[in-house]
């Protein structure tokens, strides 16, 4: 009979300990207080060039970069920090980027807004292939 109240106390304490953590996560997302939505400030190696097929795109969430390849083989890259309120975009559906915060959508190949509330296009990045590896960097 005494084990049951102890389990209840543990459950309550565990729940209380988790509540502030969840709250901090939401605050950081709204305020952009962490670096998840930080724009690219220096060159970064993304991965093998072969990961981006002709006519396709790949989202590199860890670096907030999307790379697209046109039918002619040309590469384009954009920073995937949403221009509405700075959330990192975490979903690529075909060539359509979808922001998890308020539902803005962008064209991965042009950076243009496909769905509001965002109104400004994504920031373009420079992208090149070095020894078979995609490298994105801020534009000069
Ligand atoms: S931050 Fe992306 S839609 Fe609001």
Question: Does 48 reside within a domain?
Answer: yes
Residue range 25-71, pLDDT digits in tens: 333 344 344 555 677 789 999 999 999 999 999 999 999 999 999 99
**Residue 101 in tokens:** 């915060």
**Residue 13 confidence (pLDDT):** 41
Count: domains in the chain: 1
Q: How far apart are CA 87 and CA 31, in angstroms?
A: 9
In this structure, is residue 47 part of a structural domain? yes
Domain that holds residue 83: 35-138
For the CA of 100, the closest atom of ligand 1 is 2
- pTM of the predicted model as reported, rounded to 2 decimal places: 0.75
- Per residue in 97-123, pLDDT tens? 999 999 999 999 999 999 999 999 999
The closest-lying atom of ligand 1 relative to the alpha carbon of residue 89 is: 2
Distance 42 CA to ligand 1 centre (A): 24
**Residue partners of 24: CB distance under 8 A and separation at least 6:** none
What's the pLDDT at 35?
A: 52
Residue 53 domain-assigned (yes or no): yes
Ligand 1: atom nearest CA of 117 is 3
CATH of residue 84 = 2.102.10.10
Distance 111 CA to ligand 1 centre (A): 14
Per the model's pLDDT, the better-predicted residue between 118 and 139 turns out to be 118
Q: Is residue 27 part of a domain?
A: no
Ligand 1 midpoint to CA 48 (Å): 30
| CB neighbour class for 117 (10 Å; exposed up to 12, middle 13-18, buried from 19) | middle
CA separation (Å) from 77 to 22, 35, 95, 102? Answer: 33, 20, 12, 23
């Amino acid at each position: 009979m005494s084990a049951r109240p102890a389990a209840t106390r543990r459950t309550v304490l565990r729940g209380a300990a988790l509540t502030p953590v969840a709250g901090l996560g939401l605050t950081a997302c709204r305020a952009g207080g962490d670096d998840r939505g930080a724009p690219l400030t220096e060159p970064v190696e993304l991965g093998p060039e072969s990961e981006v097929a002709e006519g396709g795109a790949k989202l590199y969430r860890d670096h907030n970069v999307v790379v697209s390849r046109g039918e002619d083989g040309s590469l384009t890259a954009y920073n995937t920090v949403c221009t509405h309120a700075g959330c990192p975009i975490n979903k690529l559906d075909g060539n359509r980027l979808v922001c998890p915060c308020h539902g803005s959508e962008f064209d991965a190949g042009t950076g243009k807004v496909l769905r509001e509330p965002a109104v400004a296009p994504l920031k373009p990045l420079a992208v090149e292939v070095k020894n078979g590896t995609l490298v994105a960097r801020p534009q000069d």
